[in-house]
A and B are shown apart, each in its own frame.
Chain A
Amino acid sequence: MADLWIDGNRNQLLEQQDEVRKQQPYLTWDTREPIVRLEGLFLVRHPDTGEDLDGFDIRVCFPRSFPKRLPRVWAIGGRLPEHDRERHVSEKEGCCLFVDEEFHLRHPDGYTVTEFLAEPVQHYFLAQLHYEHHDEWPWPVREHVKEGIEDAYMELLDLDDRGAVRDCVDLLRRRDLKGRWDCPCGSGKKLRDCHGDRFSVLRGKIPEETFKDTYHRLWERTITLDGRAVRDA
């Protein structure tokens, strides 16, 4: 358990615990190993007035390599279905908050637990609340499974060919890149003359673990909390 994220960061953990308590007083930390958890009533707030609109019982699990690997959130307490595409709830991976890369790009310098709760978790549960009252998701969503990832990358890399996404992610997950390699976008140009700079920017902002997980997801594997790729039964 030596590489558990809280081991070398006790002070950081204490600071984050205090911050979370101020913002979300009904969430309780459980730092017993092997998984650090935050659990309890998450208050969904009005972004303008700060009024507490409603609350959902949630469990947030922090992977060993947090914050490189993102926490997973589960809705507990029976209010959401266990598995529902329309409501973005997966039995295997919990609440489907975002495409991981898009979160990291918003927080290239890292993020705190409070920021994680105040943004994607708040957005997600506010949207669930909206769904309960209005029978629809209030904002644009990503397509499901592979298509959603491909759409995200096509936007990030300005690609025309969906088929090129997997090759791009394959390259992005490598330790080193060589400018003389063919660009995986299919342009026929060398990487240095094509997407090389864009790749560098992404690699500077997104942890390599994310590219590895995405690559497996493109092969329709499920990723566990600590990054194991498992084939669906």
Chain B
Amino acid sequence: MTPDEYLQAVLDDQELPDEELDALQERKEQIKKLLRNSFSDYSPSIRDAGSYAKGTMVRASYDYDALIYFPSDTDVGETLKAIYAEVDDVLNDEGYRTKRKRSAIEILNPTEDEDPEYFHVDAVPGRYVDGSDGDVFLHQEGGDKDHLKTNPEEQLDHVRDSGVRDAIKLLKLWREKRRFSLPTFVLELLVIELLEGHEDDSLPDQLVHVWEELDEQAEELSVEDPANSNNDLSDVFDSATKASLSHAAQSALNKLDALGWESVFGEVDEDRKQEKAAKVASATEATENPHRPWFGG
């Protein structure tokens, strides 16, 4: 299998099965309907966003964002914080458990019996800046500023039209495998910026280019909200995050060099998985007098 074929196989493997997609659709409609009905007196617009709308879903990491944006003169809440709290309360009153994130409200599975991980739906409350239906204000929990101004359509278009969505998907997968913390939108902006001019490169070449740039120049990199260059993203893309990224990128390049693509993303071919499992078993059988591990607590 060529590297191109392999990476395509990884992407295919990461496609959401119909069952999961249907379940997400159902949850999405549930939440949209709830928000529409609960706030019908306030005429919000409810739009699709998240990786679902951007076309960057991978099984390892996907989400649907329900953007609920109120008119600029709304009286659903006096402040953005109040609007945010109102939406959170509506969800809680309907029995959904939620977790407040920076600007989004993560909706958790309704009961603790179910997979606690992820409902895969966030609600993102906001208020239009003016009557033009474009720019919005979002509340920010924590951070130096309690709100920011952005344009969700511009952000969506920036990713949808980037020409590098497959690279974004693979690097999201890489992030999940490495378990390092980097907000998806920062990862997307980074990848798009680093691959500017490389849109026609092969997928393997694109990934190597991104990793090389991260390895060599992470400290100098910065990202900008395409909808508002005044938005300061330095607190979510700080020095510690850059250092982590740089190490992770170096590790990916080393693995590629030493062991090949499968060491980064895993085996996708069943025969190769079995072959590797057999080799590992033979290696452990051949090991003489192995040390006995001891867990100290």
Q: Which of B250, B285, B293, B295 is the most central at the interface, judged by chain A CB atoms within 10 Å of its CB?
A: B293
- Residues of chain B from 169 to 195 with CB closer than 8 A to chain A in the complex: 177-180
Contact mask for chain A residues 15-50; partner B; CB cutoff 8 A; 1 contact, 0 none = 000000000011000000000000011011111100
**Bound Cα distance A88, B292 (Å):** 10
Contact mask for chain B residues 280-297; partner A; CB cutoff 8 A; 1 contact, 0 none = 111111111011111111
Minimum CB–CB distance for B266 against chain A, Å:
10
Also in contact, A46 and B283, with CB within 8 A (given A41-B254, A57-B251): yes
Also in contact, A145 and B297, with CB within 8 A (given A127-B284, A130-B281): yes
- Residues of chain A from 44 to 61 with CB closer than 8 A to chain B in the complex: 44-48, 51-55, 57
Q: Is B276 an interface residue (CB 8 A)?
A: yes
Minimum CB–CB distance for A129 against chain B, Å:
5
Q: Chain B interface: which of A97-105, A168-176, A190-198, A201-209? A: A97-105
Q: Which of B177, B180, B283 is the most central at the interface, judged by chain A CB atoms within 10 Å of its CB?
A: B283
- Residues of chain B from 127 to 164 with CB closer than 8 A to chain A in the complex: none
- A222 contacts B290, C-beta separation under 8 Å: no
Q: Is A188 an interface residue (CB 8 A)?
A: no
Q: Is B279 an interface residue (CB 8 A)?
A: yes
Residues on A with beta carbons closer than 8 Å to the beta carbon of B281:
130, 133-134, 138
**Bound Cα distance A51, B263 (Å):** 14
Residues on B with beta carbons closer than 8 Å to the beta carbon of A149:
294
B294, closest chain A residue (CB): A142
- A102 contacts B291, C-beta separation under 8 Å: yes
- A contact residues, total (Cβ < 8 Å): 59
B297, closest chain A residue (CB): A145
Also in contact, A139 and B280, with CB within 8 A (given A99-B292, A123-B290): no
Q: Is A90 an interface residue (CB 8 A)?
A: yes
Q: Is B31 an interface residue (CB 8 A)?
A: no
Choose one: B254, B288, B294; the contact of A26 (CB below 8 Å).
B254
Q: Is A185 an interface residue (CB 8 A)?
A: no
- B291 contacts A85, C-beta separation under 8 Å: no
Q: Is B240 an interface residue (CB 8 A)?
A: no
Q: Is B259 an interface residue (CB 8 A)?
A: yes
Minimum CB–CB distance for A79 against chain B, Å:
8
- A46 contacts B263, C-beta separation under 8 Å: no
- B293 contacts A47, C-beta separation under 8 Å: no
**Bound Cα distance A179, B279 (Å):** 53
- Residues of chain A from 187 to 233 with CB closer than 8 A to chain B in the complex: 217, 220, 222-223, 232
**Bound Cα distance A139, B294 (Å):** 12
**Bound Cα distance A68, B161 (Å):** 59
Q: Is A77 an interface residue (CB 8 A)?
A: yes
- Residues of chain A from 120 to 139 with CB closer than 8 A to chain B in the complex: 120, 123-124, 126-127, 129-130, 133-134, 137-139
- A126 contacts B287, C-beta separation under 8 Å: yes
Residues on A with beta carbons closer than 8 Å to the beta carbon of B101:
none
Contact mask for chain A residues 57-94; partner B; CB cutoff 8 A; 1 contact, 0 none = 10000000000000000001111000001001110110
- A141 contacts B292, C-beta separation under 8 Å: yes
Residues on B with beta carbons closer than 8 Å to the beta carbon of A45:
283
Residues on B with beta carbons closer than 8 Å to the beta carbon of A102:
291-292
Choose one: A41, A44, A88, A137; the contact of B294 (CB below 8 Å).
A88
Q: Is A8 an interface residue (CB 8 A)?
A: no
Q: Is B16 an interface residue (CB 8 A)?
A: no
**Bound Cα distance A78, B247 (Å):** 12
Residues on A with beta carbons closer than 8 Å to the beta carbon of B295:
85, 88-90, 96, 142, 144-145, 148
- A139 contacts B290, C-beta separation under 8 Å: yes
Residues on B with beta carbons closer than 8 Å to the beta carbon of A103:
291
**Bound Cα distance A138, B287 (Å):** 10
Choose one: A41, A51, A79, A90; the contact of B296 (CB below 8 Å).
A90
- B248 contacts A54, C-beta separation under 8 Å: no
A89, closest chain B residue (CB): B295
Q: Which of B250, B254, B284, B288 is the most central at the interface, judged by chain A CB atoms within 10 Å of its CB?
A: B284
Q: Is A119 an interface residue (CB 8 A)?
A: yes
B175, closest chain A residue (CB): A78
Choose one: A40, A55, A85; the contact of B263 (CB below 8 Å).
A55
Residues on A with beta carbons closer than 8 Å to the beta carbon of B282:
46, 48
- Residues of chain B from 195 to 252 with CB closer than 8 A to chain A in the complex: 247-248, 250-251
Kindly list the 9 A-B residue pairs having the minimum CB-CB distance in the complex, ordered from nearest: A78-B179, A142-B294, A138-B284, A88-B293, A133-B277, A144-B295, A41-B254, A148-B294, A123-B290
A45-B283, A90-B295, A133-B277 known, 15 other contacts, Cβ within 8 Å: A40-B254, A41-B255, A43-B258, A52-B258, A55-B254, A92-B297, A98-B291, A133-B280, A133-B281, A141-B292, A142-B294, A148-B294, A149-B294, A152-B294, A222-B297
- Give me 9 A-to-B residue pairs in the complex whose CB atoms sit less than 8 angstroms apart, sorted by A's number: A47-B286, A48-B286, A54-B280, A78-B180, A93-B297, A97-B291, A119-B291, A123-B290, A222-B296
